[in-house]
Structure formats: C-alpha cells, structure tokens
Amino acid sequence: MEITFAVILWAVRIVFLLLLYLFLIRSFRALQRALADERIAVTARQTGLAALVVTRSHAGGPRVGERMPLRAVSSVGRDGGNDVVLNDEAASAKHAIVSFADGDWWLEDAGSTNGTLLNGSRVWERARLHYGDEVAVGRIALRLERAQ
Amino acid sequence: MIRVRPLARLGELRLLVWVAALSLTGYVAVVAAAAGRFAWYELLVPVMVLAIVGALHVFLVSIGFRGDQLLMPIAVGLTAVGFVLVERLAPGLLLQQLSWLVIAAGAFCVTILIPRDLSVLARYKYTWALLGLLLLISPLLPVIGREVNGARIWVGIPGAQPGTSLAQFEPWELVKIALVIFFAAYLDEYREVLSSPPRRFGPIPVPPVPYLLPIAGMWLIAMLVMVFEKDLGATLLFFGIFLAMLYLATGEPFYVLIGLILLLGGGFVAYHAFAHVAARVDVWLAPFDSDLRFDQAYQLTQGLFSLANAGILGAGLGNGMPERIPVVWSDFVFDAFTEEVGFAGALALLAFYLVFVYRGMLIALRAPTTFLQLLAAGLSFIVAFQTLVIVAGNAKLIPLTGITLPFVAYGGSSLVTNFMLAALLLRVSDITARVRR
C-alpha cells in the first residue's frame, strides 16, 4: 500500500511536468498561427486600413480607379505632405481629415475654402463615413472601400 | 444586438482545457504529498479557480469579444500554477488569495468594458499621471502608510488597534499601469519633437528644454522612491519602463544612454549615502559572508540552496524543502517552483512569459494608432521586466528586489494589477481586430 501510493504520487508529478510542456507546445502553436496571420496583416498595412478609391477626376488629377490607402488618421488636401494628395485647384492645401475612431470611419472638413461633400451634401461637422460613401473634394470624387 | 457565437473563442477554450488539467494535477500532487493521502473534496479550491476562469471565458464570448485568444489562457495558466504554489507553500493564505482572484476577475471585466477605442485613457493623460503620483506617494502619508519588511510601499485601512490594518494594498502595482498610460499618451503627442529635435549637439539630440523636463522629472521621482520608500525594485521598474517606451517612441539610443548614466550615477550615490541600498548590494556581492549568511542574506542564500537542490526534473511537487526560505510564497516562488519541478519546469515557466510578452509585442505591432502601440508595448514590457528582475534577483544575478513574479507570486495587489494589464492588452487586440474587420 505504502509503495503504490508513492508510485502514484511520482506518476502525478511526472504528469504535471508533461502537462506543463503540452500546454506550452499548444501555446507555441497558437503563437505560430498568429505569426502567419501577422504576415497577412503586414500586407494589409501596406494597403492601409481602408482606402479611398477615385471615382471621378479630371485631366491632371488622379487617375479614376486609383486606390489611396488610409491610416488611422489621414489628411486629405492639395499639399504634397497630405496622406491623400488631390491635385485640384478647388482643393485647399489641407482640405479634410478622414479618421478611424470608436469603431467607425469619420469625415471632417479641415476648414477648406470650397468645402467637402459627403454623398452630395456639404459636411459641416464630423460626419460618419460608411463603406461605399462618396466624398467629393473640388472636381474629384472618392469612394470609401475596405482594405483589399 | 450582439450575436453570441458560443464557439467564437474555440482556440482559447482549447487552451483553457490544458490549464484545467495542469491545475488539477498540480493540486493533487501537492495535497497528496503533504497529507500522505488524497480525498476528492480537496479539489474544491482549484475547481473554484477554474470556475472563475470559465466565467471569464463565458464573459468574453457573451460580449462578442474579438481580441487575442492566447493571452488569457497563459495568464490564467500562470495564475493556476500560482495557486498550486500557494497551497504548497502557504496553505493558510489560500482563501485570501482566492478572494483576491474574484476581485481580479472583476477588475478584468471592468477593464474589458472600457468604452470603445480606449481614447478615454489618452484624453485624460495628466489625470492618470497625477493619479499615479498620488498613489506613488500614498505610502509615505502618516495614517494610511505602512512599512513592511523595511520597504514603505503599502497603504492600509487603519484597524481598531494602532499599527494594525483591516486591509492592505501595494499602490505601486497600480501605479505601473497608470504611468504606462501616461507615457504612451505623452510620447504619442511629443514624439516628433523628441525624435527629430531642431538642434543637435554632434550625434546627441537636444530637444527644447520644456520637453526634457518630464524625463528629468521621471528620474527625480525614481530616485525619491528609492530613498524614501526604500523600494529598489520599483525604482528599477519605473525607470526601465520609461526608458524602454522613450526608445520605442523616438528610436534615439542617446536618451537610453543618458537615462542609464543617470540611473547608474544615482545608484552609485545612493549606495554610499543610504544604508538600505548598500545592504542590498552587499548581500548580492557576498551572501555567504559570515556576517550576512544567517542575517540579512539568509533569504537569498536559502533560495540559492533551494535552486541547487533542483536538478533536471526537481524534487517533485511537494517533495522539496522550499519552506526553509523566509517569505517564500511572495518573494521566492521562482526558487520554490524550480526546486520542485527542476530545470525542466523552470524553463517551461520562463517560456510561458516569453510567449506572453511576444504575443503582447505582436499586439503592439498590429495596433492601429501610435498611442495603442505604445500602450501595448509598455504593458508587455512591464511583464518582461518584472520577470527578468525577480528571477535574476532570486538567482543572485542582480541585487534582489521586492518585485513579484507576475501572475504566479502570492499577493492581492499584483494579481489584480496583472489581470487589468492582461485585459488592457486584450482590449488593444480587440480594437485591432475590429479596425481590420
């Protein structure tokens, strides 16, 4: 009886150590899968969180169909320092801000001279942007699309 | 409104099954070794621990949480190992630790429910900084401050008799999180000025003086903590987190260099000026000195014997003699664990921290905004740095400090804080998942 109890106890201790390692191996596997996802995510980062796709333009402006990747906060304007550069005389140097907050995309006019249109109506305060919405700045129109 | 999909977090659930098996086996081994017999009703405590863990999982599923599925199982796995060790080393404290786990689980849920994109944290950054500083100096206040084992880092609600407390808490633990939030928000805002300052002195960046003040202020506060609260670990952690986050935000190695020089300089002065700092270093340099061996170095040397007793597979759970180390359940759990499960077990334990921190850094990399990136990196860094400092301290690689081993060591304040930390990391990963849809 004495010996069997000791043997069982020994076995339980070994099992504990084994379980520790099995759990560790499972965790490593999960981490490995996460790393594979990360590779996909890095590609996603290069294409942005979402994108503004040019739907209407003019000669000298961006090409129709061009994708402009968005960051969490992206500035839109004529100036070359913006995240989304729009070459149009009617666009202000710093025209509008597109940002991601509280789980949604938002459009805000940055004090532009000629205003920003969302689905045809002028934006006066921060407005929610849905996928598929059309943003117009000067003669250029852009549509919000999910990242590819 | 929210569609609940019961199997949405299957990966997490699968890992939690391993946690359950590990927890029950460890508990059986420890109880059977201590009592020489085993009865099933003695599994009540680990079953309660697992019930709390299960409740957390159900909570995450029911709110449609989309964050990481690996972090929570590792955190509660380490906690479960911690409970096995509390049963082994200080069974009398088990119920107390269990009630702390309930509070920690509550804090976890509250943190998970912080609204939306966590921007509320960044918006009130100076409030967090002020809160952190108040918590930091609270142990120095007359009525509520408590000195325990030579370090004045506790606050307590005064009890009926003078000098006793109804409940005690280490505010420093919460300070860590408040400060990481502040650092992340501050560095997010002033990153540009700090990383590409208008003037440079050779290769050394010289940002305008007002932006340097917080850095100097942090150093001053770290030194004050060392002097007045006699807490070396807090000093090291506090300044370490700050330097790491500063480097992450700016990519300027010179800030780290300057910070390290300041820290070493401050440490050198403190060694010569303050007895409690000198004592720690002397114990570290020569613990077997005949004056120290059975006096100030007793805890450390007993810990070293415990480590030496470990071997590859250890003495077996419940079969070692870690109880010969004073206060083993809070300061020396790593040595106790190593003695009983050996080099193999210790290696696995450290690997779990590695996975946790690695996962935390991946969450930081993926986070959509700079603030969230810095926040996640800072939080992961807390866990990494604490593990490093206490394990190295237990192994006599660096002077011993009173930092706890995250999730494993006995202690209410640290359990609650670590659960909040894990919850914040999960929130960041949840936001990332929602942005990317």
Residues from chain A that touch B14, judged by Cβ atoms under 8 A, are 26
Tokens of B160: 């009926």
Tokens of B422: 């894990």
CA distances from A57 to A123, A134, A143, B72, B228 (A): 20, 13, 12, 50, 67
Degrees to nearest 5, angle at CA B400 with B376 and B319? 95
pTM of this structure: 0.80
Distance from CA of A74 to the nearest CA of B (A): 12
User: Nearest residue of A to residue B25 by CA position?
Assistant: A16
Residue B162: predicted pLDDT:
55
Q: Express each pLDDT in B156-184 by its tens digit.
A: 766 556 555 556 777 878 888 988 998 89
Q: Does A25 touch chain B (CB under 8 A)?
A: no
Residue B144: predicted pLDDT:
72
Q: Express each pLDDT in A110-147 by its tens digit.
A: 888 889 999 989 988 888 999 999 999 988 999 998 87
Q: Does A40 touch chain B (CB under 8 A)?
A: no
Contact check, Cβ <8 Å, B70/A35:
no
Q: Express each pLDDT in A54-111 by its tens digit.
A: 999 888 788 888 888 888 888 899 888 788 888 888 898 889 999 887 778 899 998 8
Q: Residue A10 — φ and ψ, nearest 5°?
A: -60, -45
Q: Express each pLDDT in B393-410 by its tens digit.
A: 999 998 888 888 999 999
Residue B21: predicted pLDDT:
96
Q: Determine the longest span between alpha carbons in chain B, in angstroms.
A: 73
User: Nearest residue of B to residue A20 by CA position?
Assistant: B22
CB of A27 closer than 8 Å to CB of B356: no
Residues in chain B: 437
CA distances from B363 to A136, B169, B196, B378, B383 (A): 35, 30, 26, 11, 14
CB of B208 closer than 8 Å to CB of B198: yes
Q: How far is CA B169 from the centre of its chain?
A: 15
Q: Does A73 touch chain B (CB under 8 A)?
A: yes
Contact check, Cβ <8 Å, A24/B352:
yes
Q: How far is CA B181 from the centre of its chain?
A: 15
Residue B339: predicted pLDDT:
93
**Measured between alpha carbons, how far is B268 from B270 in angstroms, rounded to an integer?**
5
Residue A40: predicted pLDDT:
66
- Which amino acid makes up residue B126? Y
CB of A54 closer than 8 Å to CB of A62: yes
What DSSP assignment string belongs to A69-131?
Answer: EE-SEEEEESSTTSSEE---TTS-SS-EEEEEETTEEEEEE-S-SS-EEETTEE--S-EEE-T
**Measured between alpha carbons, how far is A110 from A135 in angstroms, rounded to an integer?**
14
Contact check, Cβ <8 Å, B18/A5:
no
Q: Express each pLDDT in B265-299 by its tens digit.
A: 888 888 888 888 888 889 999 899 888 888 888 98
Q: Does A111 touch chain B (CB under 8 A)?
A: no
Contact check, Cβ <8 Å, B435/A72:
yes
Contact check, Cβ <8 Å, A147/B436:
yes
Contact check, Cβ <8 Å, B19/A23:
yes
Q: Does A36 touch chain B (CB under 8 A)?
A: no
Q: Express each pLDDT in B32-57 by its tens digit.
A: 888 888 888 888 999 999 999 999 99
Residues from chain A that touch B369, judged by Cβ atoms under 8 A, are 72-73
Contact check, Cβ <8 Å, A27/B70:
yes
Distance from CA of B392 to the nearest CA of A (A): 22
Tokens of A18: 């084994």
Q: Does A126 touch chain B (CB under 8 A)?
A: no
Q: Which of B45, B13, B82 is nearest to B353 (CA)?
A: B82
Element (H, E) at B157: strand B151-158
User: Which long-range contacts link B4-11 to residues 24+ away (Cβ below 8 Å)?
Assistant: B4/B61, B4/B62, B4/B64, B5/B61, B5/B64, B6/B61, B8/B61, B8/B64, B8/B66, B9/B57, B9/B60, B9/B61, B9/B65, B9/B69, B11/A30, B11/B69, B11/B70
CA distances from B83 to B61, B73, B78, B151 (A): 25, 15, 9, 25
Q: Express each pLDDT in B118-140 by its tens digit.
A: 878 888 888 888 888 888 878 77
Contact check, Cβ <8 Å, B18/A22:
yes
Tokens of B57: 């999982």
Burial code (b: 16+ CB inside 10 Å, e: under 16) for B277-291 equals bebbebbbeebeeee
Residues from chain B that touch A102, judged by Cβ atoms under 8 A, are 116-117, 119
Residue B165: predicted pLDDT:
59
Q: CB-CB: which of B18, B37, B366 is closest to A19?
A: B18
User: Nearest residue of A to residue B11 by CA position?
Assistant: A30
Residues of chain B scoring pLDDT < 70? 1-3, 143, 148-152, 157-167, 196-199, 202-203, 215, 226, 436-437
CB atoms within 10 A of CB B298: 16
Instruction: Tell me the count of A-B CB pairs closer than 8 A.
Output: 104
Q: Which of B224, B207, B210 is nearest to B258 (CA)?
A: B207
User: Nearest residue of A to residue B435 by CA position?
Assistant: A103
Distance from CA of A114 to the nearest CA of B (A): 30
Distance from CA of B124 to the nearest CA of A (A): 17
